[in-house]
Chains A and B, each alone.
Chain A
């Protein structure tokens, strides 16, 4: 056969198959656009978690098993390899898990496309959750989901290196000026003073301390290009250019905690997850945790949190809410706190937690003045671009970085 005959035949065949296939697929998808039909009675809940490791998976599985036996349902907990991607695929396929972790940074994306069931106020005593966490999971005035736990940033100091640099407890910085002063003394001894993560999730804390933030309170307007934010970035820029602070990659580390654990930096700014990481990887490091130094406009830190999202397409919403209720009870959160090293999201168990973990006090105190992640949809690429700007801060112009953010955010938020 001449080649072009084959080609023509193949094209005809492809076209036929394509037509048939699309006709078949048209009815194959589950297109229930409204609420999924609800089933009462014993449910089999699918729970997808983005686990931090073995300990967390085991803790959640045990808690879920306990709830399942006491309530007569079944609950299957699956740890995800890549939560965002797996969830994205499941939602696109129309069969999402009933309950899943939602990170505050992505919450608005899920809420805005209607993937989440706004059940927040059906949880008993939902006012008990910290205000900053409630704000993080509120979209269009509705509390969508119950915060699972939270973390905040604080300053870690390697006490051995601190003493070696000739510094005492009196030198522990509580303001930006003191931070600079202490850092200069450390640098004079030939050590790297501060390992600082190169993203908004660390540097943003300085903006908060100076009374600025990236978005307005209602999350509708970008507010990056302000004198407050500019001053904060200029402060960081000076730290970087004078060698008082270094990004983890400059210190050959994946993140600041690693650089800190290896003794490559005397101070770092990380959240309470660093406690577990240092215990596992660098058990011999002696350090203490203090609150972040206050800026010109007072104290400020960032909070990170996840919530128990319930899929809008779940068939077992009532049972799922009961499940979340059990998972977010103060008692259960203390169990998780012990197993995983996270802080409970309910204020009522705060004192019990600090009594058990006195060294975490600076972290939990941060809840009072913490700023949550950017809570607006479609912001991921804008924030990535902002991070790129921050990575090049040492050689870049802070003003341009902030202006770019505003420009891109306006386009993403549709408020231009």
Chain B
């Protein structure tokens, strides 16, 4: 993977081989269209069309009776969206609470699962390791198990008298009532430094219907247990991706840098990590998308409780549509979520791509790669 990018980058500034369409090409065009037609039809019918229909629903006040595509369904324009952002009310507060929860969730899950996956991949990629395939399957195992089954197991682990609290008790720590505890972790930390009740400056007001104090709550103790679960289950899949990336790293480079006197950390930092950048981007992107869409763990373990601290936009959208019969609002929430994910992915792409160009050491390894290929 890395090699391809590099050679492409090397040739790009020179000749730009743009093809011209000639007479003989038109036949190929038609054939091309014919070949992609089935895929376009299937994707269009099962992907694009439902999305467009859902978008239409998000502009209406459809109550779930009969077809949403008749004149009887009240059209409300962008009201379902403005309700989420500009009108003070329960809809906005619920939505913003869910956004807050998910921001903290993503902020912890994505770095943690990426780091853990990379660590695991490095371990099982070690040439000296014995029983490699055993560890590879063991680490991958959580990913192939049903998330619902794992969620139920975690419910037992994190029960008040469950294994986690028993373990904490072994060290003399009185574990919390995990799934009943709605206190935010940041609030708890503030409590440690003596800020128990919110200062007036933070409760007064805040953006989008939540006070600053609420925004700064941090993930609740209940959310932490869900985070632990997700990090544990997803790291296996991402380990597999990192492992594939690591096996693409030429051994010769590693050896060459060793000869140049690079320490183990330097080799990791300046040889392995840069070569893994495409994989890292993939893992970060998939991780971000997946963690913004978290649903089944919440559905199985907490249903948004305690005190709405595990409510996420995906679950809120489901609840609004199927419990409150407010399909328009539910669809609107999912489109906002969609936008959030798209925007974040683009930003991520930007950030990772820019780091590629201003890296001073780049030339050092670039010269060597073509020799191998």
Contact = CB atoms under 8 A, between A and B. Distances in A.
Contact of B63 (A18, A94, A113, A380): A113
A392 B90 contact: no
Interface stretch (B39-47, B284-292, B364-372): B39-47
B324 A17 contact: no
A21 B45 contact: yes
B264 to A, nearest CB: 40
Interface of A is mostly: helix
A170 interface: no
Given A9-B33, A22-B49, A391-B306, A92 B323 contact: no
A88 B52 contact: no
Given A18-B52, A88-B64, A381 B324 contact: yes
A64 B353 CA distance: 66
B105 interface: no
A125 interface: no
A109 interface: yes
A106 to B, nearest CB: 8
B96 to A, nearest CB: 13
Interface residues of A, number: 45
Contacts of A9: 32-33, 36
Contact of A378 (B160, B177, B179, B324): B324
Interface string B22-47: 00000000001100110011011100
Contacts of A384: 304
A382 B90 contact: yes
21 contacts: A2-B19, A9-B33, A10-B40, A29-B67, A30-B66, A33-B70, A33-B72, A88-B64, A88-B322, A88-B325, A109-B325, A113-B64, A114-B65, A249-B306, A251-B160, A252-B159, A252-B160, A381-B90, A381-B91, A385-B308, A408-B89
Given A94-B66, A252-B160, 13 more contacts: A14-B43, A18-B44, A21-B44, A21-B45, A29-B69, A33-B70, A113-B64, A251-B160, A381-B90, A381-B91, A381-B94, A381-B324, A385-B90
Interface of B: 18-19, 32-33, 36-37, 40-41, 43-45, 48-49, 52-53, 63-67, 69-70, 72, 89-91, 94, 159-161, 177, 179-180, 182, 304-308, 319-327
Interface of A: 1-2, 9-10, 13-14, 16-18, 21-22, 25-26, 29-31, 33, 84-85, 88-89, 91-92, 94, 109, 113-115, 247, 249-252, 378, 380-382, 384-385, 388, 391-392, 408, 411-412
